[in-house]
Structure 1
Amino acid sequence: MQLTLKTWDDNSVEMNVTHCGICGSDIHTLDENWRSANRPLVGKNVTNLKVGDRAGVCAQSSSCHECELCLDGQENMCQGGGVFTYDSRWPCGSKSYGGYADKWRGDYRFAFKVPDTMTSEIAATFFCAGVTTYAPLKRSNIIPGKSVVGIMGIGGLGHFGVQFAKGLGAKVIGISHNENKRDIALELGCDGYINASDEASMAKYNSSLTHILCTGASPDFQWHTYFALLKVNGHFINVNVPEWQYPGMSAFTLLSKQIKVYGSGIGSPREIEEMLAFAAEKDIKPWITTYKMSDVNKAIEDFRAGKPRFRFVLEN
Structure 2
Amino acid sequence: MPVDYPREFQGFAITDPKDWDHPKLTSYEPKKFGPHDVDIEVECCGICATELFCLKNQWSSEPLACLSSAYGPKSQVVGHEVVGRVVAVGDDVTLCRKGERVGLGAQCSSCMACPRCHAHNEQYCAKSVATYCSRYEDGYVSQGGYASHVRAHEQFCFPIPAEIESQYVAPLMCGGLTVYSPIKRGIEGLENPHVGVIGIGGLGHMAIMIAKAMGAHVTAFSRSSKKRADAEKMGADAFVATGEQPNWSKDLFDGFDLLVNCASSTTQLDLDAFLSVLKVNKNFISVGLPEMDDKFVLSPLTFMGNGPCVGVSKLGSRQEAIELLQLAATRGFRPWVETIKISEAGVHEGLTRLDAGDVRYRFTLVGFHDFFGTGSS
TM-score relative to the length of structure 1? 0.95
Change (3 A) 1:46 1:65: same
Q: Structure 1 CA distance, aligned partners of 2:222 and 2:92?
A: 47
Structure 1 residues 179 and 276: CA distance shift in structure 2, 3 A: same
Deviations 1:181-210 (A, max 9, x none): 111111111111111112144443233222
User: Is it true that 1:238 corresponds to 2:286 in the alignment?
Assistant: yes
Unaligned 5+ runs, structure 2: 1-25, 67-74, 76-87, 369-377
Give 1:211's aligned residue: 258
Distance 1:158 1:236 in 2: 14
Cα drift, residue 248 of structure 1: 4.0
Aligned alpha-carbon RMSD (Å): 1.6
Superposition pairs of residues 108-257 of structure 1, within 5 angstroms:
108-142=154-188, 146-197=192-243, 198-216=245-263, 218=265, 219-243=267-291, 244-257=293-306
Amino acid at match of 1:27: L
Kindly indicate whether the alpha-carbon contact (under 8 Å) linking 1:144 and 1:169 is maintained by their aligned counterparts in 2: no
Please give the secondary structure, in 2, of the residue aligned with 1:97: coil
Mapping of residues 259-278 of structure 1, within 5 Å: 259-278=308-327
Matched residue, 1:291 = 340
Cα shift at 1:234: 2.7
- SS in structure 1 opposite 2:162? coil
Aligned-pair CA distance for 1:141: 2.6
The CA distance in 2 between the partners of 1:193 and 1:114, in whole Å, is 32
Q: Hey, what's the Cα distance between the residues in 2 that align with 1:10 and 1:217? A: 39
User: In the alignment, is the contact (CA less than 8 A) between 2:161 and 2:325 conserved in 1?
Assistant: yes
Matched residue SS, 2:365: strand
- Indicate how the Cα distance of structure 1 residues 249 and 201 shifts in structure 2: closer, same or farther if over 3 A, else same: closer
Name the counterpart of 2:19: none
Contact 1:173 1:190 in 2 (8 A): yes
Contact 2:103 2:157 in 1 (8 A): yes
- Does the 8 Å contact 1:144/1:168 carry over to 2? no
Contact 2:179–2:207 (8 Å) recurs in 1: yes
Contact 2:109 2:153 (8 Å CA) reproduced: yes
CA distance in structure 2 between the partners assigned to 1:177 and 1:139 by the alignment: 27
The corresponding residue for 1:50 is 97
Report if the CA contact (8 A) 1:56-1:127 is conserved: yes
CA contact (8 A) 1:60 1:82 kept: yes
How far apart are 1:255 and its partner, in Å? 2.2
Q: CA deviation at 1:96?
A: 0.8
Letter in 1 for 2:289: V
TM-score, with structure 2 as normaliser:
0.80
Partner of 1:12: 37
- CA shift, 1:71, in A, is 2.0
Deviation, 1:119, is: 1.0
**CA apart distance, 1:38:** 2.2
1:304 to 2:355 alignment: yes
Q: What CA distance in whole angstroms lies between the structure 2 residues aligned with 1:248 and 1:305?
A: 26
The residue identity in structure 2 corresponding to 1:220 is Q
> Partners in 1 of 2:317 and 2:301 — Cα distance?
34
User: Structure 1 regions of 5+ residues with no counterpart?
Assistant: none
Q: Is the 8 A contact 2:338 2:360 kept in 1?
A: yes
Choose from 79, 96, 101 the match for 2:142: 96
Partner Cα separation in structure 2 for residue 154 and residue 116 of structure 1: 28
Deviation of the 1:32 alpha carbon: 1.8
Tell me the SS of whatever aligns to 1:17.
Answer: strand
Q: Which residue identity does 2:360 align to in structure 1? A: R
- Cα deviation for residue 85 of structure 1 reads 0.2
